[in-house]
């Protein structure tokens, strides 16, 4: 690569077609030849070429693709291109090519297929042969079909359908957000963190424990005597009592990250300094809004200070003002102890000068 010239690409089409007639790249190559012929008929002097990116990672693939484009530009002196692609995944190569020369147009090849019973059976057979697709779609679908009779026997059809929809939605989000890939990396990250002696390993564990305590206390604070329609009030009760513990958990985790940053490089960037203050300020604001709802519903008793009853609006204003003040204090502290160099990222530098 790159393969350049009408004759070379025409020969490549035959070679690929003999090896795998079902490969969609054949239609892409033929479309490139057709575009070249049309440009020649319009008295242009086009250069038809095939570039590709292949590597162990997406970054290496894009780098190889960029090198091939640069070689074509240096060799033939082209300044613009018409990019021919055959799939949505190939869209990612367009920005790489645009960074080297002007892209006049993007030609997307869509192959027409016969939608009869035979082609449907063939596509289904190919689908079943793909292990990743089977795992993603067939396993959740089969599990849902197995659970469906149990849910219908134990609950109403509405509850059964809602439960299955939630199950399938959770599985699709699990695969779509690549949560399984992130979870697969967790043991290795924990092992690396333990071997490197990071403080954040301990603070993460403490943070998870504090978060569980907050969730537990928030659940205990929910009033069971409320009517079934008071979902908002119950939610605000949970939030009001759980937020302090959740904020403390986030504060503990952020403190661990800050200590790791300092231990590794003896410098702490401004975001790590702002994070603890931002967490506390956010906790103040959320607790203030939850308290406003509860006080308006007479779930919270009006407190008094200096002989004056504090209303729901005053309570909310106090929490909001407190959150803003804490946030400003954090910004001020971070700004006062970090260097303000225009070239570098502001840092809190503990090294000697």
pLDDT digits (tens, 9 = 90+) for 162-194: 878 887 787 777 777 777 677 777 677 666 666
pLDDT (0 to 100) of residue 294: 81
43: left (phi over 0), alpha (psi -120 to 50) or beta: left
> What CA–CA distances, in Å, run from 143 to 89, 133, 148, 172, 270?
30, 15, 9, 13, 48
pLDDT (0 to 100) of residue 199: 73
pLDDT (0 to 100) of residue 351: 45
Which is nearest to 251 in space by CA: 273, 270, 232, 276? 276
Same structural domain, 59 and 127: no
Same structural domain, 48 and 139: no
Partners of 81 in the beta sheet? Answer: 103
d(C-alpha 87, C-alpha 238), whole Å? 48
- 292 burial type by CB count under 10 A (0-12 exposed, 13-18 middle, 19+ buried): buried
Half-sphere exposure of residue 312, counting CA atoms within 13 Å on the CB side?
Answer: 13
By DSSP bridging, strand 304-305 and strand 308-309 are antiparallel
Written as six digits, the tokens of 237 are 């009760």
pLDDT (0 to 100) of residue 127: 66
d(C-alpha 257, C-alpha 157), whole Å? 48
d(C-alpha 139, C-alpha 129), whole Å? 14
Q: End of a domain among 108, 141, 160?
A: 108
pTM of the model: 0.46
Mind spelling out the 3-state secondary structure of 204-239? Answer: HHHHHHHHHHHHHHHHHHCCCCCCCCCHHHHHHHHH
Same structural domain, 341 and 197: yes
Domain with 89, as residue range(s), is 3-108
Q: How many structural domains comprise the chain?
A: 3
Binned average pLDDT, 10 residues per bin, the chain of 353 residues: 86 88 84 89 86 74 86 87 80 84 84 57 67 72 81 80 80 74 71 66 85 86 64 81 88 81 68 78 86 77 59 82 85 67 43 43
pLDDT tens-digit map of 85-99: 877 667 778 888 888
CA 239-275-327 angle, to 5 degrees, is 75
Q: End of a domain among 126, 141, 176?
A: 176
User: Sign of torsion, CA 231 237 240 245?
Assistant: negative
pLDDT (0 to 100) of residue 345: 42
| Segment (H or E) for 309 | strand 308-309
Q: End of a domain among 108, 138, 166?
A: 108
Same structural domain, 213 and 322: yes
Same structural domain, 79 and 160: no
d(C-alpha 152, C-alpha 224), whole Å? 28
pLDDT (0 to 100) of residue 231: 73
Cis before 297 (ω within 30) = no
């Amino acid at each position: 690569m790159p393969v350049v010239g009408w004759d070379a690409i025409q020969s490549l089409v035959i070679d690929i077609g003999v090896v795998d007639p079902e490969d969609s790249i054949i239609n892409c190559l033929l479309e490139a030849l057709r575009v070249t012929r049309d440009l020649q008929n319009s008295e242009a002097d086009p250069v038809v070429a095939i570039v590709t990116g292949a590597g162990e990672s997406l970054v290496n693939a894009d780098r190889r693709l960029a090198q091939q484009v640069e070689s074509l530009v240096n060799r033939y002196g082209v300044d613009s291109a018409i990019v021919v692609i055959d799939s949505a995944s190939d869209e990612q190569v367009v920005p790489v090519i645009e960074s080297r020369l002007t892209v006049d147009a993007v030609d997307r090849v869509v192959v027409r297929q016969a939608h009869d019973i035979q082609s449907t059976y063939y596509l289904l057979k190919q689908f079943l042969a793909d292990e990743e697709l089977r795992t993603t779609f067939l396993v959740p679908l089969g599990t849902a079909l197995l659970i469906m009779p149990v849910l219908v026997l134990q609950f109403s059809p509405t509850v059964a359908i809602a439960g299955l929809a939630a199950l399938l939605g959770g599985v699709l989000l699990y695969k779509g957000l690549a949560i399984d890939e992130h979870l697969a990396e967790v043991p290795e990250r924990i092992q690396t963190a333990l071997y490197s002696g990071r403080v954040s390993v301990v603070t993460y564990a403490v943070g998870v424990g504090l978060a569980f305590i907050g969730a537990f206390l928030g659940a205990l604070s929910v009033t069971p005597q409320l009517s079934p329609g008071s979902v908002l009030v119950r939610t605000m009760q949970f939030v009001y009592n759980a937020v302090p513990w959740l904020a403390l958990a986030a504060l503990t985790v952020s403190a661990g990250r800050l200590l790791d940053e300092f231990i590794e490089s003896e410098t702490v960037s401004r975001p790590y300094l702002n994070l603890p203050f931002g967490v506390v300020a956010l906790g103040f604001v959320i607790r203030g809004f939850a308290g406003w709802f509860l006080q308006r519903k007479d779930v919270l008793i009006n407190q008094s200070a200096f002989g004056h009853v504090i209303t729901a609006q005053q309570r909310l204003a106090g929490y909001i003002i407190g959150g803003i003040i804490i946030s400003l204090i954090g910004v001020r502290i971070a700004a006062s102890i970090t260097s303000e160099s225009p070239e570098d990222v502001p840092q809190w530098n503990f090294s000697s000068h």
